Amino acid sequence: MSRALVLGGGMAGMLSAAVLAEHVDEVVVLESDVYPAAPGPRKGLPQAYQNHMLMGGGAQAVDRVLPGTIDALIAAGAHRRSIGDRFLILTAEGWSERFRTEPFVLNSSRHLVDHVVRQQVLRDPKIMVEEGVTVTGLRGDRDAITGVDADGGRRGFDADFVVDATGARSKAPQWLSGLGLPMVEEQFLDAGLAYAGRWYELPDGAGADFPGVLIQAEPATGRPGRGAALMPNEDGRWIVALMGTRGAHPPHDERGFLEYALSLRHPIIGNILSAARPLGTIRSSRATANRRRFFERMRLPANFVAIGDAVTVVSPNYATGMSVAALGALALRERLARTGLGRGSVAKAQTAIAKAGALPWQMALGNDRWFPGVETNVRMERLFGMDLSGVLGPFQQRMTARWQRTAASNFAMSRVTHEMTALTGSPAQMMSPRLMWSLIRGPQRPPLTAPAAIAQFPEFGELPYPSAADLPVERAR
């Protein structure tokens, strides 16, 4: 009987288990944690207390691996939201107009997403979970893995195929090195981002259609970046996250949290919080560096792949972690459908997984590199051995800023921007003659003022924010 082992039972691990069940007789997921019976906190997922979004591209990938999961998430309380129509967004370059565009995200707690995905996966009788198991090493050699050791060598599990989905703290590089393979090449870029998050109960007058609010951090100002997000979640709750790069970390005391929110480029989130009832304590998170391991550049054992955060970690500021895991699982599924689990399939599968995370990685690096105090080992723009980062980098940053300013009032550019955010688009779309001409022309209308931007969303109702009731809103969509 053929058996696959999946190391780690989070999003990447569960989706990988569903993929492998199409090729083996049995899939065993080894998870160090113990799952709660209902959606809720668990020790192995401390970041779940912060904001999470499943981008449209990631949600569609999940649904292809596990048909019906989007509907199951919405039935459980997740919100499907158009990025252009259901979020008030203050970008680094100003307020965005409200446009009805197709790109979407699913808003809910991370607890809910993991629970629903896990339920969907475990409907397959081929898949079982061993909870409370800590994997401590790989068995086999540099040509093939025969299983894993667990719990300090007291337990062992045999396998015909192994997937490492143990996340950003994966020990796979060290385990592979112990089998005689070279260390995996790794890149990182750390802007020193820190989060402080808290749950809130919706105040009276705030309905299920209450907009999300995003205040994005400004790069390339010479000052630390500061931002915030307010996201409606399931069960009549909001989750609010404050964020700041090195030198501007948000506080996690009661008074400091509210003062930080009120001191941002616009105080709307702080104003709204003054009417909301907090639920629980403020929780901080600082494990936010971008990190990529290039497993695809080495000769791996014939029956081993790594996936999810074990391969590509993107700063949570971009909310793409779950989506990268889902896109990686879909890439694994599509590759194995062509090659099966035979010898030679691993290299192509690992390359496909790497490609699934390449765009989010590049977008994160392209923005985070401009915050002060960045630590990185990434070599930026080079040509013929020359370092051109001092020339090309600032030019790219200026073009990015111009794109944001123009897209704020240009429907076509806004739609493509949202497709990139949702991971449903391609950078090639940005290079169309029409959009390049729009970029060259620049903004054709004055930027929205804060009152006019807020007035686009009557869903805010009577909650406290600078009123724009008397302003004309002819530019709202």
Query: Residue 380 phi/psi, 5° resolution?
Result: -75, -140
pLDDT tens-place string over residues 299-349: 999 999 999 999 999 999 999 999 999 999 999 999 999 988 876 789 999
If asked whether residues 16 and 142 sit together in one domain, one would say: yes
Is 236 within 8 Å of 77 (Cβ atoms)?
A: no
If asked whether residues 183 and 265 sit together in one domain, one would say: no
Residue 185 placed within a domain: yes
Query: Residue 231 phi/psi, 5° resolution?
Result: -125, 120
Handedness of CA 32, 58, 371, 251 (dihedral sign): negative
Is 227 within 8 Å of 217 (Cβ atoms)?
A: yes
> What whole-number distance in Å separates Cα of residue 425 and Cα of residue 452?
29
Q: What is the pLDDT of residue 204?
A: 76
Residue 356 placed within a domain: yes
Domain boundary among 217, 252, 285: 285
If asked whether residues 42 and 144 sit together in one domain, one would say: yes
> What whole-number distance in Å separates Cα of residue 294 and Cα of residue 350?
9
Q: What is the pLDDT of residue 467?
A: 40
Q: What is the pLDDT of residue 203?
A: 79
CATH code, domain carrying 310: 3.50.50.60
Domain boundary among 285, 313, 328: 285
If asked whether residues 203 and 274 sit together in one domain, one would say: yes
According to DSSP, residue 195 is labeled: E
Q: What is the pLDDT of residue 386?
A: 45
Residue 66 placed within a domain: no
Q: What is the pLDDT of residue 51?
A: 82
The residues of the chain scoring below 50 in pLDDT are 383-388, 391, 466-477
If asked whether residues 205 and 261 sit together in one domain, one would say: yes
Q: What is the pLDDT of residue 389?
A: 52
Is 47 within 8 Å of 285 (Cβ atoms)?
A: yes
If asked whether residues 234 and 269 sit together in one domain, one would say: yes
- The amino acid that residue 338 corresponds to is R
Q: What is the pLDDT of residue 395?
A: 80
Query: Residue 244 phi/psi, 5° resolution?
Result: -155, 145
Average pLDDT, the chain: 91
Q: What is the pLDDT of residue 304?
A: 97
> What whole-number distance in Å separates Cα of residue 133 and Cα of residue 163?
15
Write out the residue range of the structural domain in which residue 230 sits. Answer: 194-285
What is the pTM for the complete model shown? Answer: 0.93
> What whole-number distance in Å separates Cα of residue 398 and Cα of residue 296?
33
Domain boundary among 366, 392, 413: 366
* Total tally of structural domains belonging to the chain: 2
If asked whether residues 323 and 357 sit together in one domain, one would say: yes
Residue 423 placed within a domain: no
Is 357 within 8 Å of 311 (Cβ atoms)?
A: yes
If asked whether residues 207 and 132 sit together in one domain, one would say: no
If asked whether residues 41 and 148 sit together in one domain, one would say: yes
If asked whether residues 10 and 139 sit together in one domain, one would say: yes
Residue 331 placed within a domain: yes
Q: What is the pLDDT of residue 374?
A: 94
If asked whether residues 253 and 274 sit together in one domain, one would say: yes
DSSP string, 250-310: PP-SHHHHHHHHHTSSS-HHHHHHTTSEEEEEEEEE----EEEE-GGGS---TTEEE-GGG
Residue 78 placed within a domain: no
If asked whether residues 329 and 235 sit together in one domain, one would say: no
Residue 357: both structure tokens together: 């995370």
